[in-house]
């Protein structure tokens, strides 16, 4: 996993400029981590579904770092702005309590922290018992804030996926049927957006047809995204289909996306997805890195999007539906809103704007050689076996073995796929 952080270089000039100066950001990084995944508490259901907890371990690779992890960067005080967002529709007494708290702690809108601490945590007095700032569920380590704080060697939640053994057979293999023991979300405005759908990412139903769309479930943003085929591509001698997200996947004007429009989302433009309803009201917005496919906020300077460096893609072997290569990239932004009733915020030169915080890249360039050999042999089976069904059946067994569902002991996977938050 590669992580890039945006350092703000002109906070004082921007505030003093009162709207005449653009906020300048400079990309710093990457910090690089190797990830180990394994599935625990595997449970097979009579329906054919399989449940498991996915545990992740992050291990730093210092020799690949593109910056000093102890270097100081200037970033928005995310807990402070999260608290301010929760104060927008409360009574004056609650606002007074919030104002008294931040004055006593001498909280600042922008802070200097070490690059590594944005991920793994730094001391934040606002989070000591302050559920008005962040809900208790989001505070993994009391008194500390970090985008991955407390998440090393932990499970991101319990998956239940179609195992290919039930009534639907292989046609729904790898599709998510439940997340954290629930079959639907409750944060969006309509059932069509709250329903869980999409694959878990490494495995899709076999025998993918030409021009067939796929979708991948992303629990961190409480939705799935739809992928389209763009070209054939050979990975380690195996022919694959390259998939990318539809460019309007985060466009609120699409009928299928309208039920994701929940206040305080602006629900305008393309390329932005407001995740506050999914994140207990935290003012966070997801985009592709450097606002690829979105309009860069006019108040910002220093972003340079291009599809080669910032686009998301997956390569899937169509006969078996197995993911062989991927570049997963997402950016996390702060939806900064001015709270006029609190003096600290009155110096902000704008009422509302998006500020990029960080973006990550998780990638698998190619599968292990041993898997490639087995995969090539398996792909030849339908033609060598006396019955084509036998070959497809053996392929499905290989798929499930690769995905870890038939392991009695946890399967340890060394990958570069990951997450930005739980």
311-336: per-residue pLDDT in tens?
Answer: 999 999 998 888 888 899 999 999 99
For position 304, what pLDDT does the model report? 96
DSSP 382-419: HHHSSSHHHHHHHHHHHHHHHTTTT-SSPPPEEES---
Q: How many residues does the chain have?
A: 422
> In this predicted structure, what is the pLDDT of residue 145?
84
Please confirm whether the linkage preceding 312 is cis (ω < 30° from 0). no
Question: What is the reported pLDDT for 140?
Answer: 63
Render 91-146 in DSSP notation, one character per residue: -HHHHHHHHHHHHHTT--SEEEEEHHHHHH-EE-GGGSS-TTTS-GGG-SSTTEE-
Those residues with Cβ within 8 angstroms of residue 12's Cβ, 6 or more apart along the chain or in another chain: none
Q: Which of 140, 166, 165 is nearest to 154 (CA)?
A: 140
Query: So what's the pLDDT on residue 128?
Result: 65
Which residue positions in the chain have pLDDT lower than 70?
Answer: 128-141, 166, 381-422
| CB atoms closer than 10 angstroms to residue 99 | 17
């Amino acid at each position: 996993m590669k992580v890039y952080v945006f350092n703000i270089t002109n906070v004082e000039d921007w505030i003093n400029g009162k709207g005449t100066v653009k906020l300048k950001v400079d990309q710093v990084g990457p910090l690089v981590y190797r990830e180990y995944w394994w599935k625990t508490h595997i449970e097979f259901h009579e329906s054919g579904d399989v449940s498991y907890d996915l545990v992740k371990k992050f291990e730093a690779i210092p020799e690949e770092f593109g910056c000093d992890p102890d270097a100081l960067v200037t970033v928005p005080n995310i807990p402070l702005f999260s608290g301010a967002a929760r104060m927008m529709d409360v009574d004056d007494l609650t606002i007074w309590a919030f104002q008294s708290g931040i004055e006593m702690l001498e909280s600042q809108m922008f802070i200097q922290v070490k690059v590594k601490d944005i991920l793994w945590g730094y001391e934040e007095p606002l989070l000591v018992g302050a559920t008005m700032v962040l809900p208790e569920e989001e505070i993994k380590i009391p008194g500390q804030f970090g985008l991955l704080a407390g998440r090393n060697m932990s499970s991101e939640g319990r998956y239940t996926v179609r195992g290919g053994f039930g009534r639907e057979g292989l046609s729904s293999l790898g599709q998510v049927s439940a997340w954290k023991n629930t079959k639907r979300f409750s944060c969006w405005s309509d059932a069509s957006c709250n329903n869980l759908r999409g694959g878990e990412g490494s495995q899709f139903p076999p025998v993918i047809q030409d021009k067939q769309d796929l979708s991948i479930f992303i629990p961190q943003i409480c939705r799935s995204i739809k992928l389209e085929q763009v070209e054939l591509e050979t990975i380690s001698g195996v022919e694959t289909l390259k998939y990318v997200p539809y460019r309007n996947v985060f466009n609120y004007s699409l009928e299928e996306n309208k039920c994701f429009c929940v206040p305080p989302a602006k629900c305008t433009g393309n390329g932005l997805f407001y995740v506050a309803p999914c994140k207990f009201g935290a003012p966070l917005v997801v985009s592709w890195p450097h606002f690829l496919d979105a309009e860069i906020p006019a108040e910002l300077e220093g972003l340079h999007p291009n599809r080669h460096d910032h686009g998301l893609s997956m390569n899937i072997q169509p006969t078996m539906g197995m993911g062989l290569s991927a570049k997963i990239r997402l950016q996390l932004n702060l939806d900064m809103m001015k709270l006029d009733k609190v003096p600290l915020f009155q110096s902000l030169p704008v009422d509302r704007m998006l500020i990029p915080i960080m973006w990550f890249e998780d990638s698998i360039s190619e599968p292990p050689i041993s898997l490639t050999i087995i995969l090539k042999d398996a792909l030849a089976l339908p033609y060598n076996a006396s019955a084509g069904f036998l070959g497809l059946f053996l392929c499905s067994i290989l798929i499930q073995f690769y995905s870890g569902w038939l392991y009695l002991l946890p399967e340890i996977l060394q990958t570069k796929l990951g997450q930005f938050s739980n």
